[in-house]
Structures are given as C-alpha cells and as structure tokens.
C-alpha cells in the first residue's frame, strides 16, 4: 500500500511550506471577499486560520475555501515566483516513481473513453508529462498543452505538442474546440472555480467532456484542518465536497456527472500527523489490516480527500 512518504519528501515539503509563507507576505497586497465557491451563498462558518488566511465553510453546501482571498493578480505573481516553482518541481520529482504510477491510472481511465481524431487539451499541463503518456497510448489524436509558464511551455513545444501559452481564464478564441479537457490537481488552486468551469464548458464541443482530479474536503482534511499538509494557502484555496462540486458543474452546463474519491492516503496522513504533532485524535484502527479497511470505506463512501470527476457538456448548450 502506498504511503505518504512515497509521494513527497518531508524535508522538501517543509521547505516548500516556508516558501509559500514567504510568498504570502511578498505578494498578497489586496483581499477579495467572495461568496461560496460553489453555490455563491454569502453565509459561512469560520473554520480556522493558516498562514494569515481564513478558511470558512459554506452553511449551504459545506465547501471549504479561503475567504477573503488574494486577488487574481496576487495569485499570478505567486505562481511566477522562481523559488516556489523550483521547490515545487523538486517535490514532484521526489515522488516521481509513485506519481508516475498514479499518472498511468489517469491515462488508462481517459484512453477508454476517447475516440480517435479527438482534440484533447491539458489545462495547466506543466511540462507535458500527462500528455506524453497519453500520446503513447492513443497517438491518433490532437494534443494541446494549455500552460502559462515560459519554461514549461517551451518544454511542451520541444516534445512536439501544440501549446496555448495562457491561463484558461484568458482564452477567448477556442470555443467549441475540444472533445476532451483534462484538469489534474488544479481546481483547488484557481481564483474563481465558477469562471474556470464556465470557460471549460465554452471550450468543449457538444458532448465533449472534462476529467478533473483535485483535493477535496474529505476525511483527513476534516480531521487535521490547519495541521493538514494539504492545506497550504495561497497555493490551495478551494476544497469541494461531492454535493458542492456536483451543484457547481450542473450550474455551469454539465451533465452525466460521475464522482469518486479513490484516495488512498487519508489514514496514513492522519496517523503520521498524530504521531509527529501530538494531535489529540484517537486513531480508529488497531492494525494495518484495519487501517486498509477504513481507507477502503472512505473510498466507497466518497469521503476521501482526493476526488475524480467526469462530466459531459450538455448537448443543448
């Protein structure tokens, strides 16, 4: 069974946390008050504060989100910070073997539902790792990397991908263009999830689909809250649940929505945090076998903190 240590080096992760906190001081110079990231409800419950930013939960749908939050321009500056980018890449490389295995799971999922001669876009493609693996499996398609970074865009071009060097929020010339758009580990980062999903819907052809993987407000985050390593503002701003993401997708013109939480690390993350930080929480298992069963229960009940979403654009839009 995969462990937390297999996906991230703790020393690099601690360094990244320090960098993010420094960036919060350097780049946040204006706050934006928002309604709920899903249902736009203005009434919320204060949950906790971390690194100077408030996390609240919606009284209507239960989404967890930063409010007020850094402005869109503040977030753009943060993601261009050279020290942050380098450390984030180092963290990904530290768990390369496990992350590659998880990437193949996503590739295998997508390749079963894509027809030949499709136009496929990867939003926030980075250096094109996912598109590279997908192209090996289903080469008879058009692959487009949507990536704002100069360095990563250059690498995608060198790999032979067509590149749209932009944030998706700033794309206006690709409506009804894609058969499939992919967003991997990105939804928790974006400034305005409602705008993000509206743009995706506009860019999909009728019957086109979006495949999303993201962090969500699942079991380990609900237990650990501000002590969760997954809660790292302004890097992570949005944590949906099954109810709230379904509501948002339907509201933005999607149907045939399939949601699962196949996460496998909730129990290991909580167990490690309790041991390392003396957190006052009684672990609800007494053996490795019981721990695996508990994690399986979280998966089956859609209570894990990692979510997969498949949704199709409504045909009548």
Give pLDDT tens digits for 287-316.
999 999 999 999 999 999 999 999 999 976
Q: Would you tell me how many other CB atoms lie within 10 Å of the CB of residue 98? A: 15
Tell me the average pLDDT across 243-247: 97
Place 75 in a pLDDT band, splitting at 50, 70 and 90: very high
d(CA 244, CA 64): 10
Q: Percent of the chain scored above 70 by pLDDT? A: 97
pLDDT of residue 59: 97
pLDDT at residue 95 is higher than 70: no
CATH level 3 topology of 4-313: Rossmann fold (3.40.50)
Calculated CA dihedral for residues 124, 128, 129, 134, nearest 10 degrees: 100
What is the domain partition of the chain in residue ranges?
Answer: 4-313
| Of 123 and 89, more confident | 123
pLDDT of residue 205 exceeding 90, the answer is yes
Greatest Cα pair distance, the chain, in angstroms, is 56
Question: What is the model's pLDDT at position 246?
Answer: 98
Per-residue pLDDT at 305: 96
**Which pLDDT does position 88 carry in this prediction?**
84
Judge contact between 210 and 156, C-beta under 8 A: no
Q: What is the pLDDT of residue 316?
A: 65
Q: What is the pTM of this model?
A: 0.93
Q: Report pLDDT for 126.
A: 85
Pairing relationship of beta strands 254-260 and 306-313 according to DSSP bridges:
antiparallel
């Amino acid at each position: 069974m995969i462990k937390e240590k297999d996906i991230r080096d703790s020393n690099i992760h601690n360094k990244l946390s320090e960098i993010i906190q420094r960036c919060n001081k350097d780049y946040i110079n204006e706050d934006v008050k928002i309604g709920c990231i899903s249902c736009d409800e203005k009434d919320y419950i204060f949950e906790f504060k971390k690194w100077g930013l408030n996390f609240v939960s919606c009284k209507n749908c239960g989404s967890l989100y930063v409010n007020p939050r850094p402005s869109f321009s503040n977030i753009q500056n943060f993601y261009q910070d050279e020290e942050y980018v380098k450390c984030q890449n180092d963290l990904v490389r530290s768990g390369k073997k496990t992350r590659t295995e998880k990437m193949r799971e996503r590739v295998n999922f997508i390749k079963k539902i894509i027809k030949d001669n499709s136009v496929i876009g990867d939003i926030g493609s980075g250096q094109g790792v996912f598109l590279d693996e997908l192209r090996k499996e289903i080469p008879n398609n058009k692959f487009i990397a949507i990536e704002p970074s100069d360095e990563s865009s250059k690498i995608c071009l060198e790999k032979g991908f067509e590149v749209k060097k932009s944030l998706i929020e700033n794309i206006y010339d690709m409506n009804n263009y894609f058969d499939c758009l992919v967003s991997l580990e990105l939804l928790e980062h974006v400034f305005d999830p409602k705008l993000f999903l509206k743009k995706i819907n506009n860019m999909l052809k009728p019957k086109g689909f979006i495949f999303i993987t993201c962090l969500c407000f699942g079991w380990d985050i609900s237990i650990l809250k501000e002590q969760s390593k997954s809660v790292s503002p302004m890097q992570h701003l949005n944590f949906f649940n099954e109810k709230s993401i379904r509501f948002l997708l339907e509201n933005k013109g999607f149907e045939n929505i399939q949601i699962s939480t196949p996460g496998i690390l909730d129990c290991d993350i909580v167990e490690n945090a309790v041991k390392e930080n003396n957190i006052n929480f009684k672990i609800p298992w007494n053996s490795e076998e019981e721990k695996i069963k508990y994690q399986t229960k979280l998966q089956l009940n859609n209570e894990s903190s990692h979510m997969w979403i498949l949704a199709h654009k409504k045909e009548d839009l």
